[in-house]
Structure 1
Amino acid sequence: MSQKIKLLGDIIAPHLQNNQKITSYDFDNLLAVGENYGSVMLQVAVKLQNHNGDEETIYCVGKTVPPSEMLWNLFNTKVTFKKEIAIYKIIVPEINKYGEERGVDNLITFTAKCFGARISLDPKSEEVDHDAVILLENLKTQNYIVCDRFNGFDEECSKLLLSDLATMHASVIGYKRAQPKDFETKILPFLKKAYAFNITESFADDFAAAIQNACAKNPDCIPHLSKIAKALREINYYNENPVKGKDIFATLTHNDYWVNNTLLKFENGKPVANKMVDFQIIEYSSLAHDVIFFLYSSVNMNVLECKLDELIRFYYDKFIETLRKLGHPTNDYSFELMLEEFAIIAKYGQFSHLLYMFVPICMLKGKIKSLSKFDLNDFIFEESSMHENYFRRMQFTLIDFSRRDWI
């Protein structure tokens, strides 16, 4: 049985039309165990009726806070929940307004419609509590789907998603350059770092040993195994001393952009639209964080092994294209300079980020604990619990980062 959202009608009421009244709600769990950890996701059906007796049902997703104290603290929910509300209520509307002023309508179309949000039942409260909720349109009723996290995206899907990512990054950079004071007052306050994955050295060593055992089966990995423990031990240092790279590449970053945090719509077997979700750990940081994490965590391995450099170039071209549409000069943004940015960011934090996230991404269904029971020790995996692509993805990342001198 799923939990319920208290006083849901107070959120929906401002969106009702033609004297509609709410007659009932139905709640159910949206995601299976292991598909999301930073929140509880509920699917909600709101039944309405107008004065003529005509009925309508609104299908929504209610995003609520995580149920366990460990996850609440891990995701810094009191701060990150406000960040996500800001995306829908402040940041995206502000960026789209800026785009319209520059002659570009519908600049950002790849976020869901938000019906409303609150941090507490107390309207005077400034603290996020267990009654906090964000109510979004249910994209699955519009034929958007979450793709297979084990196998990742094919080339066509990857390019669509990279195009939207480049648009988001370039749009915020354009806004920052055109309206620096507005950026500092309206957007930047929501982009402060608020999430850190702190670990003990003993935990890092145990986790490194599990990864080394998995990688040692590939002879090409053996010369690089010592880099794993070093990267994992350094994660606390990078949390306290984040490296943002060059300021010209600093923008709004999603920081968790992988298969489960985007939904695709297909027509005749072709991807035609995308919706990004889960903006709870957005930051003002280097665009390279998002691109590197997405590519290595979410692109199909056959594509990644053959076309990684092509995909990086594709992202760059879309980034430049967006800046030009918005009327900004692009002379400062050479491809070579962006590659330097990728090298800086990859060395400082992204390798360890990938190592940790490969575990929940690739753990077999039925092997992952529920939200309320999950703790950090669950990252110390048994190889039998992992999808076969975990080993291929992990080994490729270790070899490729080493080849590029990124670790």
Structure 2
Amino acid sequence: MKVEACNPAPAWLTKEYLEAIFRRYKNDDGLHIKEIDIKPASAKGDNYLSVMTRLKIKFHLSSNTTECGSYIVKSTYEADVLSAKIIKGYDLYNTEMVMYDKILPKLSQLLCEIGDCTKIFANTIHVDYDNSAIILEDLAVFNFRTANRIECMNETETKLVLRNLAKTHAAAAVLNERMPGVLNRLKMGMHNRSTTGFAPYFEGMFEVCAKFAGDCATLGPYYRRKILQLKPRVMDYCRSVHEPPQSYFHTLLHGDLWTNNILLRYSAEGAEGAKQLEDAVLVDFQFSNWSTPAVDLHYFFNTSLPNELRIDRQDELVKHYYSVLANTLTKLKYEAPVPTLHDICVQMEAGRFYGNQGSLASTVIHQAVMINDKTDDAELKNLVGDDESASNFRATLYTNKRVQENIKRLLPYFDRKGLLDVPQ
């Protein structure tokens, strides 16, 4: 068994442990594991909240045949006491285990009822509630890859992601009708009333942004003052968008929809060398919660898209999302009134202004992390900590030229929308 020392696999991930799981999964009591190769499945800057481990296993089956498989194990992050405590406060692992064990399979079944068996989620092999771990199929062997998180997504990729997000939102709304209360009990998410563990990260990023704005010739003290006025209010503003009026269309959110939580598959190159985008699978459901779809849309637009899409063509993208949402709700015989495009646009504007989580916070806070190109210190403790090391890391995020150009263009845009104003 080979293990990469830089990101050791959990101690409980043994041959005996895996044999018991795969005997059940493959319904073969005579299954034996002949070889295991264990390696890290992500690099620094790709994943802050979990340990990702890739397993390559050679099985000997009762039929006297040999079979090979590749799998991903998601397990708890325990390398740092502070980070582990904050993660526990958000109940991330329990949320994701329930999602992969109970909810995502039901959403897939609902879509199959209407003849739509599009692959939107990875198949679950096993959920281990005792060790807070999930074993999933490894989609890399099927040629799924993440897009370039630095370059962001192109139009074709964006529209396919929005299509599958809309199907997920529609199926979740219908599932909650058929099984009342099964989904709207999920209230945690990234912003909730139970914990403020991420406050140093959110407020710290606003402080870094304010400093950059103040030092920037094209922005200056005006924007520095406005961002600093928002800093102590950012947590409350972000919570507010997760608590929309009951009259809004509600559904189960992904909660952390950005480039690295989306796996894309392109076809093999054709005669002319062109590749066609075939699938987009959503992964990482640690922050799933019941709220307005505007949260997922704003977060995705402002963490994963270039400016020409998220600003210049956002209305077009929302309409594309809506057409799939409405069509899927209708096919699934959603009992409540299907929201109109105007309804969704109203929710988008409310989320943009009242919550600031929509456009402003996603841009100031999250995108700076997600397109970070200096990953030596890219660890959760340096996002959520309050020591010098954490402050230095957060400051480093704003040395990224892409972040700087985005902020220089977007702060005036947000100001014209009234998003930088503090209510009196």
Q: Which residue of 1 aligns with 2:126?
A: 116
- Over 3 Å counting, the alpha-carbon distance change for 1:132 and 1:9 in structure 2 is farther
Write the deviation string for residues 93-136 of structure 1: whole angstroms up to 9, x where unpaired. 22334445xx413466311011101122xxxxxxxxxx321001
Q: Work out the CA distance in 2 between the residues paired with 1:405 and 1:385.
A: 23
Q: Which residue of 2 aligns with 1:81?
A: 93
TM-score (norm 1): 0.85
Correspondence 1:77-156 to 2 at 5 A: 79-100=91-112, 103-106=113-116, 109-120=119-130, 131-156=131-156
**1:357 and 2:366 are equivalent in the alignment:** yes
- Over 3 Å counting, the alpha-carbon distance change for 1:139 and 1:200 in structure 2 is closer
Q: Which residue of 1 aligns with 2:227?
A: 228
Q: Work out the CA distance in 1 between the residues paired with 2:23 and 2:169.
A: 34
- Over 3 Å counting, the alpha-carbon distance change for 1:192 and 1:306 in structure 2 is closer
Identity rate of aligned residues, in percent?
Answer: 18
Equivalent position amino acid for 1:310 in 2: E
Backbone CA RMSD of aligned residues: 2.9
- Give how far 1:272 is off: 1.0
TM-score (norm 2): 0.82
**1:315 and 2:311 are equivalent in the alignment:** no
Q: Work out the CA distance in 2 between the residues paired with 1:204 and 1:359.
A: 11
- Give how far 1:166 is off: 1.1
| CA contact 1:20–1:51 (8 Å) conserved in 2 | yes
Q: Work out the CA distance in 2 between the residues paired with 1:356 and 1:110.
A: 28
Q: Work out the CA distance in 1 between the residues paired with 2:54 and 2:198.
A: 37
Correspondence 1:259-338 to 2 at 5 A: 259-267=259-267, 268=269, 269-328=275-334, 333-338=339-344
Equivalent position amino acid for 2:151 in 1: N
Q: Number of aligned residue pairs: give it.
A: 390
Correspondence 1:379-390 to 2 at 5 A: 381-383=394-396, 386-390=399-403
Out of 164, 184, 187, which is 2:183 matched to? 187
Q: Which residue of 1 aligns with 2:60?
A: 49
- Over 3 Å counting, the alpha-carbon distance change for 1:293 and 1:395 in structure 2 is farther
- Over 3 Å counting, the alpha-carbon distance change for 1:255 and 1:206 in structure 2 is closer
What SS does structure 2 have at the residue aligned with 1:219?
A: coil
The 10-residue stretch of structure 1 (205-214 or 227-236) with the greater mean CA deviation from structure 2: 205-214
Q: Work out the CA distance in 2 between the residues paired with 1:202 and 1:360.
A: 14
- Give how far 1:343 is off: 1.8
The 10-residue stretch of structure 1 (9-18 or 27-36) with the greater mean CA deviation from structure 2: 9-18
| CA contact 1:251–1:286 (8 Å) conserved in 2 | yes
- Give how far 1:164 is off: 0.9
Q: Work out the CA distance in 2 between the residues paired with 1:82 and 1:31.
A: 21
Q: Which residue of 2 aligns with 1:128?
A: none
- Give how far 1:301 is off: 3.1
Write the deviation string for residues 259-300 of structure 1: whole angstroms up to 9, x where unpaired. 111110011422210111110111111110000010011012
Q: Work out the CA distance in 2 between the residues paired with 1:374 and 1:205.
A: 10
Gaps of at least 5 residues in structure 2 are: 270-274
What SS does structure 2 have at the residue aligned with 1:352?
A: helix
Q: Which residue of 2 aligns with 1:159?
A: 159
- Give how far 1:27 is off: 0.9
Q: Work out the CA distance in 2 between the residues paired with 1:402 and 1:223.
A: 11
- Over 3 Å counting, the alpha-carbon distance change for 1:48 and 1:386 in structure 2 is farther
Out of 76, 98, 105, which is 1:65 matched to? 76
